[in-house]
Amino acid sequence: MKSVLKSLLLILVVLWSTKLYTQESIVEDLKEIAIIDQKVMVPMRDGVRLCTDIYRPKGSDKVPIIFSRTPYNFNSYGDGEMRTRSFERAYEAVKRGYAYVIQNERGRFFSEGEWDILGTPLTDGYDAMEWMKSQSWSNGKVGTYGCSSTAEWQMAVASLDHPAHAAMVPMGFGAGVGKVGDYYEQGNWFRGGAVQMLFISWLYGTQNDEFRPIIPPGASQEDLTRIQKWFDLAPEMPSVDWKEAFKHLPAQDIIKNVDGSKGVFEKMIRRTPNDPDWYKGGLYHDNMPFTIPSFWFVSWYDVSSSPNLELYNHVRGLDDKTVADNQYLVIAPTLHCRYTRATENTIVGERNLGDARLDYNGLIYGWFDKWLKDKNDNTMNELPHVQYYTMGSNQWQSSDTWPPAEAELQTYYLNSAGQANSLYGDGKLQLNKVGENSTADTYIYDPNNPVPSHGGNVCCTGGAIDGGAFDQSGIEMRHDVLVYSSDPLVESLEVSGFIESTLYVASDAKDTDFTIKLIDVYPDGTAYNLDETIFRARYREGFDKEVFMEDEQVYKIEMSPMSTSNLFKKGHQIRIEISSSNFPRFDRNLNTGGKNFDESNPVNATNQIFHSNTYPSQVRLPVVK
Residue numbers of the chain with a pLDDT score lower than 50: 1-21
Residues 6+ apart with CB under 8 A from 60: none
Peptide bond into 250 cis (omega under 30): yes
Alpha-carbon gap, residue 524 to 573, rounded angstroms: 11
For 278-313, how does the pLDDT look when each residue is reduced to its tens digit (9 = 90+)?
999 999 999 999 999 999 999 999 999 999 999 999
Nearest to 355 by CA among 337, 366, 341, 336: 341
* Per-residue exposure over 171-185, b if at least 16 CB sit within 10 Å of its own CB, e if not: bbbbbbbbbbeebbb
In this prediction the pTM is 0.94
Q: What is the pLDDT of residue 390?
A: 98
Q: What single letter denotes the amino acid at residue 183?
A: Y
CA–CA distance, 187 with 278 (Å, rounded to integer): 9
Phi, psi of 181 (to 5 degrees): 60, -130
Residues with Cβ within 8 Å of 98's Cβ and at least 6 positions away in sequence, in order, are: 57, 63, 64, 65, 66, 368, 372
Residue 205 burial by Cβ neighbours in a 10 Å radius (0-12, 13-18, 19+): middle
Q: Return all residues near 550 (Cβ < 8 A) that are at least 6 apart.
A: none
CA distances for 528 relative to 60, 102, 423, 454, 534, angstroms: 56, 39, 14, 10, 18
Q: What does the pLDDT read at residue 377?
A: 82
- The whole-angstrom distance between residue 227's C-alpha and the CA centroid of its chain comes to 34
What backbone phi and psi angles, to 5 degrees, belong to 200? -70, -50
The percent of the chain in helix, strand and coil, each rounded to the nearest 5, is: 25, 30, 45
Residue 564's nearest CA partner among 483, 621, 487 is 621
CA–CA distance, 158 with 253 (Å, rounded to integer): 35
| pLDDT for the residue 349 | 97
Q: Is the dihedral of CA 210, 216, 217, 221 positive or negative?
A: negative
Question: Residue 623's beta-bridge partner residues?
Answer: 408, 495
Q: Cα 170 to chain center, whole Å?
A: 11
Please report, in angstroms and rounded to a whole number, the separation of the first and last CA atoms in the chain: 64
**Residues in contact with 322: Cβ distance below 8 Å, sequence separation at least 6, in sequence order:** none
> What does the alpha-carbon distance between residue 418 and residue 340 come to, in Å, rounded to a whole number?
46
CB distance 528 to 339 below 8 Å:
no
> Is 248 within 8 Å of 470 (Cβ atoms)?
no
Distances (CA, A) of 287 to 296, 526, 577: 19, 43, 35
Helices 2-33 and 85-95 pack at an angle, to 10 degrees, of 40
Question: Contact at 8 Å (CB) between 145 and 295?
Answer: no
| 616 touches 433 (CB < 8 A) | yes
Alpha helices, DSSP H only, in 448-535? none
Residue 22 confidence (pLDDT): 56
Looking at residue 232, what is its pLDDT?
Answer: 87
What DSSP designation does 311 have?
H
What are the structural domains, with CATH classification, of the chain? 1-150 (3.40.50.1820), 407-624 (2.60.120.260)
